[in-house]
């Protein structure tokens, strides 16, 4: 199942139709052609009572193809960085706690993008990528055009002796190491997609 954050709604692309039923604040819709998804998506997004939208087809890749065709697609990558002390690296950007990430440049390998963005936004030296984590998806508008952003996340090891320097031109005002036991400060003021990434911590 693919989970997409879209404003105050969550969109699920799923092949498991029987696991979900329509309720007062959610709707389950079978999709067989892209045109139908366009119509039903617009209807559901304009309905303020609906918080969850489930699009169903046995082929999730086909569903994602239909969905992504409605948007300008952007790829990004970022890191969940941990040091030897067991602390995790966060940034404070635009009034919320976030993880370092940024857009992929043309021809750039996604792992290279992830490391570059972490180093640029935080002033830290990334020692290595340990493993690939989940990808997150969210939609927004940029210059009146609908955008679907896919962010690829990686678990990284960072050098805690680096001098942290927020990339202020990107709206970052603070870079901070935070222990897992103190994550409440982050969870109370972050994005739902970031919460999904933090669930990957083992």
| Judgement on whether residues 55 and 109 belong to the same structural domain of the protein | no
pLDDT 10s digits, 154-178:
999 988 778 899 999 999 999 999 9
Q: What is the percentage of the chain residues whose pLDDT exceeds 90?
A: 88
Q: What is the CATH number of the domain that holds 183?
A: 3.90.79.10
Threshold 0.85, pTM exceeds? yes
| Judgement on whether residues 99 and 26 belong to the same structural domain of the protein | no
| Judgement on whether residues 114 and 33 belong to the same structural domain of the protein | no
| Judgement on whether residues 94 and 172 belong to the same structural domain of the protein | yes
pLDDT for residue 28 is more than 80: yes
| Judgement on whether residues 57 and 91 belong to the same structural domain of the protein | no
| Judgement on whether residues 83 and 162 belong to the same structural domain of the protein | yes
Element (H, E) at 202: none
The answer to whether the CB of 155 falls within 8 A of the CB of 197 is no
Which region among 125-129, 179-183, 188-192, 193-197 has the lowest average model confidence (pLDDT)? 125-129
Per the structure, how many domains does the chain have?
2
Range of the domain at 193: 72-198
Q: How far is CA 123 from CA 131, 166, 170, 194, in A?
A: 21, 7, 13, 21
| Judgement on whether residues 84 and 131 belong to the same structural domain of the protein | yes
Residue spans of alpha helices (H) in 87-175 = 110-122
**What mean pLDDT, rounded, does the chain reach?**
94
| Judgement on whether residues 134 and 161 belong to the same structural domain of the protein | yes
| Judgement on whether residues 63 and 77 belong to the same structural domain of the protein | no
């Amino acid at each position: 199942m693919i989970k997409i954050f879209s404003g105050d709604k969550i969109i699920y692309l799923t092949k498991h139709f029987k696991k979900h039923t329509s309720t007062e604040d959610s709707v389950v819709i079978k999709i067989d052609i892209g045109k139908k998804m366009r119509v039903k998506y617009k209807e559901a997004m304009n309905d303020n009572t609906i918080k969850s939208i489930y699009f169903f087809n046995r082929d999730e890749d086909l569903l994602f193809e239909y969905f992504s065709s409605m948007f300008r697609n952007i790829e990004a990558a970022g890191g969940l960085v941990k040091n030897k002390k067991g602390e995790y690296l966060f940034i404070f950007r635009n009034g919320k706690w976030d993880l370092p990430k940024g857009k992929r440049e043309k021809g750039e390998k996604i792992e290279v993008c992830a490391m570059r963005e972490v180093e640029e936004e935080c002033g830290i030296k990334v020692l290595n990528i340990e493993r690939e984590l989940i990808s997150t998806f969210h939609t927004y508008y940029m210059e009146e055009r609908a955008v679907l952003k896919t962010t690829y996340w990686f678990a990284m090891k960072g050098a805690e002796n680096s001098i942290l320097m927020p990339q202020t031109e990107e709206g970052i005002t603070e870079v901070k190491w935070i222990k897992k036991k103190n994550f409440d400060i982050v969870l109370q003021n972050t994005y739902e997609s970031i919460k999904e990434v933090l669930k990957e911590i083992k």
